[in-house]
Amino acid sequence: MIETEEQLGGRRLEPGEGFSFACRPGLACFNTCCADKRLPLFPYDLLRLRRGLGQSSAEVLAGFVELEEDPVSGWPVLRLRLTGEGRCPLVGETGCRVYGDRPAACRTYPLARAAAPGEKGQPAREVFLLQEAPGCLGWREPRQLSLEVWVEEQGLKPYQAANDRLLGLVMHPRRRGRLYLTSEQTHAVILALYNLDVFRQLAATPDFARRFGFGAGSVAEALASDENLLALGQDWLTGQLFGPPASAPGRTKKKAKGRGR
């Protein structure tokens, strides 16, 4: 679900190293790169696409997304579904139709980011890789950039924060090796992480907080904000897949059994 450095490929950007890149409409390659790529969509990508397109989460899923299973981890992976011509369904004559809400992978290029959980509550560890795509003329542009400027300019911080939070689920301590999810569990993953409008209906049921051990206040906060709702969905899903946290009040304590990968 979250790709590793090995899966992403490319040369590692060393600490403090800059790079030269610019993407602009006047380049001969403009718009050509929004094709032939099976872009991964993370939960926060879906949240933003839904917002940018002004559609329900179910409409975005039905209209633009395909589902597969990662053969290594067993996690459901969502990707942008290409058109019959192999183009991204969201590219128009003048560029990306959802530019302000485009997915993290589109924002991050010409870099890619791999992340792993930090030790003992520390922030996630991250690595950026240079991804020189064939035919991309942006690399010939003279504009010098630092990683920090690129992350800021591309509005990547909320995407990275949401994806780092997701690491707590996909690399859960109770996970042992490859997952073999039942169809009900796969449905729960899609519901809680991607189909937020439907998950909101579940979270709004009167006994949701009591049934699943959440505070009424945190559920109310989630119902008022898509970002908080996604966080609640992740917490709910974590309980569905791996059981309650060891410190959950009123529940049987389970000891974490070591990190599976």
Q: Point out which residues bind ligand SF4 (CB under 6 A).
A: 23, 27, 29-30, 32-34, 39, 88, 90-91, 96, 98, 102-103, 106, 109, 136-138
Whether the bond into 173 is cis, omega within 30 of 0: no
Q: Is the dihedral of CA 9, 69, 84, 93 positive or negative?
A: negative
Nearer to ligand SF4 (CB atom), residue 100 or residue 249: 100
Nearer to ligand SF4 (CB atom), residue 25 or residue 71: 25
Query: Shortest distance, CB of residue 23 to ligand SF4, whole angstroms?
Result: 3
Does residue 52 contact residue 63 with C-beta atoms inside 8 Å? no
Nearer to ligand SF4 (CB atom), residue 32 or residue 238: 32
Query: Shortest distance, CB of residue 130 to ligand SF4, whole angstroms?
Result: 13
Residue found under tokens 């993290």: 104
Nearer to ligand SF4 (CB atom), residue 57 or residue 234: 57
Which of 52, 50, 68 lies closest to 60, judged by CA? 50
Residue 25, exposed/middle/buried by CB under 10 A (0-12, 13-18, 19+)?
Answer: exposed
Contacts 24+ apart (CB under 8 A), 187-192: 188/237, 188/240, 188/241, 189/75, 189/76, 189/237, 189/241, 190/61, 190/67, 190/76, 190/78, 191/233, 192/233, 192/234, 192/236, 192/237, 192/240
Query: Shortest distance, CB of residue 155 to ligand SF4, whole angstroms?
Result: 13
Nearer to ligand SF4 (CB atom), residue 88 or residue 209: 88
Q: Which two tokens stand for residue 1?
A: 């679900």
Q: What is the DSSP letter of 28?
A: T
Query: Shortest distance, CB of residue 136 to ligand SF4, whole angstroms?
Result: 3
Nearer to ligand SF4 (CB atom), residue 96 or residue 181: 96
Query: Shortest distance, CB of residue 180 to ligand SF4, whole angstroms?
Result: 31
Nearer to ligand SF4 (CB atom), residue 89 or residue 118: 89
Where b means 16+ CB within 10 Å and e means fewer, 129-160 reads bebeeeebebeeeeeebebeebbeebebeebb
